[in-house]
Each structure stands twice: as structure tokens, then as C-alpha cells.
Amino acid sequence: MHPSPGLSGRPVIRRYRASDREAVYDICVRTGDRGRDARGRFRSDDLLPDIFAGPYLRLEPQLAFVLAVGARPVGYVLGTADTAAFVRAYSEQWIPALAGRHPEPADPPLTPEDRMLAMLRRPGEMLWPELAAHPAHLHIDILEGYRGAGHGRRLIERFAEAAAGAGAAGMHVGVSSANLPALRFYERVGFARLEVPDPGPVVYLGRRLNRP
């Protein structure tokens, strides 16, 4: 696929700006189905970004970076250097900020949307004792036309440097076990699989960081 129409120039990585929020939300949903477009999949196209992008932009914007062509982001990496602290802040600040934006899920969750709605409200599910040695975690998404050119590796390294500077000894990601291209990508950039008991349809991978 070719780069987005109307955008020209060499992509560069820079720090996230508040004015990038709409573009980050758009990228998140356009890549939300294992790298494919998830628009229209749920009742609100904001559901996936409200889980996987919005809380990081609000709570830890200093660890968010975008891949931009001109002023327009075409990819991003974001996350936290301390998952346990992030979960506390998410519960105290992000969940109240979402009041009324999304319906309550069925209990137990019955549909893919219910499972996402439950994930939105249960940040504690990010915490696994087996991941404690890799306290940072991240999310990365790039529009299809800008993949395969080394930008993903560059974004990962930018985040790794920032997370290490914030004191993290290691970082981890959670990937759908069905997303084979993503699993291969993370292994190419230095991640190795971590043993987590009964993780469901998720594979966890970790990488050590060199702190300053």
C-alpha cells in the first residue's frame, strides 16, 4: 500500500504534542484489528483508542512519540515506564474521565465489544507477577503505507531510551497469539517470550533495558 494521499516528505520521529491527539486516535482505530482497519467494528470508534492510546496520552505524554510526515502523525509509540503506577493512575484519573462515554459490559462479557468494555474498566488485568522485571510496557501502531521501512524499530528504540531514562529495567508487550507478523516483529527488535500462566489469547514478550 502506498503512503497516505496528500502527505509527502520523509517521516521523522518527534515527541507527542497535544495537537496530535486526534491523529493518534485515528491511527489506533485504523490499525486496531491486528493491524487492519477496525472502524465500525464497535458502537464507538473511540473505544479502542480510549483503552490503548488515550490513558497514556493523558497520564504519561512524556513517553509518547509520533512518526510524522510534515505535521501529520502516521504512527506512534506510547506507554509507561511503571505499569503498577500507571494502573493506579488509570483507576484514579482515567476511568472517572470516561464517565458516560461507553456502556457497561455484560457480566460476564459475551461479545468482543463486551470484552473490550470490560478491559477498559479493569486496568488491574495489566498486572502479572511474572512481568515485574519488565515494568515498562508499550503500544505501537503505524499506518500500513509506512510499515516495512524501519520506522517501527526506530520508534521502539526511542521509547526504550525514554523508559530506561525514567528508571525502567525492562519493558514488555502483549500481543494476540494470532498476530504472527507482530510476534515476528517484536522478536526481530530484541524481545523474547515471557512465561505467564494462563494468559488467554495473549503472548507476552519482554526486553531488558540499559538504564543510564
Q: For the chain, list the domains and their CATH numbers.
A: 12-169 (3.40.630.30)
pLDDT in tens, 18-62: 999 999 999 999 999 888 999 999 999 999 999 999 999 999 999
Residue 7: which pLDDT band, with cuts at 50, 70 and 90? Answer: low
User: Cis (ω within 30 of 0) for the bond into 49?
Assistant: no
pLDDT in tens, 92-104: 999 999 998 999 9
pTM recorded for the entire structure: 0.92
pLDDT in tens, 115-146: 999 999 999 999 999 999 999 999 999 999 99
With vertex at residue 180, the alpha carbon angle to CA 177 and CA 183, rounded to the nearest 5 degrees, is 80
> Residue 5 pLDDT > 80, yes or no?
no
Nearest-angstrom CA–CA distance, 201 and 148: 26
